[in-house]
Structure 1
């Protein structure tokens, strides 16, 4: 369990320092949850992690194109641009999501044999690795 001694005012001051304002969507978060929610948001959305920010945001664009969340799609599209993504890269991420989701629907709908699929994937990986 995360515990913190930061007050709401201190957390909001950090938000203003980081973002230039306190986003209204944070205003309804209860006082005792605000600091941990902000820290998680900062860590995953804004800080550099193992996945470079541009790629995290492109993943977010593709993911929320599917969830149909207009808030998250807008957020991740604008964040992707801030981290250097081009319009073409954003379009490719969404197109990739469309293609991948289509294959998922087909494989699941046709009830493709999972073990056979996994075995073929292993063989494909071995073949491609042998080609260098």
Structure 2
């Protein structure tokens, strides 16, 4: 595909050819556009709004202002609220902070993994018990 054909496809998608695509060397343009389209635009197993909130969180941690702006605006385009955007940024802050802390302290990795698995099993067990309790209350009419 020639450069102009790729540009035409990009313009049909966005209404313009963003300058970031004009910076891509011509031999790589078709490949980069195809990759961008597949990862950023095509439907996937994660709904678009949530993919953009993930992108926002990642860009907050990597401190890329371009990506932060892009993912925030596209998340809004797909229905993200200000509250969801704030929550994604806060989650990223928490995750990055804990990562720095436990890596800095060199917490034993095997112990950490074992404890996470143990905690998840505890939650699963609690959910099963709660489900059985709710089911029994529904059958007996107790609330």
TM range (shorter): over 0.9
Structure showing the higher helix proportion among its residues: 2
Q: Larger Cα Rg: Structure 1 or Structure 2?
A: 2
Q: What displacement does 1:127 show? A: 1.2
- Looking at structure 2, the residues matched to 113 and 91 of structure 1 have their Cα atoms a distance apart, in angstroms, of 32
Q: What displacement does 1:129 show? A: 1.3
Alignment of 1:41-120 (within 5 A): 41-120=36-115
- Looking at structure 2, the residues matched to 75 and 101 of structure 1 have their Cα atoms a distance apart, in angstroms, of 21
Structure 2 regions of 5+ residues with no counterpart?
Answer: 129-143
Q: 3-state DSSP class of the match of 2:44? A: coil
Normalising by structure 1, we get a TM-score of 0.92
Q: What RMSD over aligned residues (CA atoms) do the two structures have, in Å?
A: 0.9
- Looking at structure 1, the residues matched to 117 and 40 of structure 2 have their Cα atoms a distance apart, in angstroms, of 34
- Structure 1 moving runs of 4+ over 6 Å: none
Normalising by structure 2, we get a TM-score of 0.85
Cα distance per residue 1:22-79 (max 9 Å; x no partner): 0111112121211110011111111111111101100111111111111111000001
Cα distance per residue 1:62-120 (max 9 Å; x no partner): 11111111111100000100111011100000000111111111111111111111111
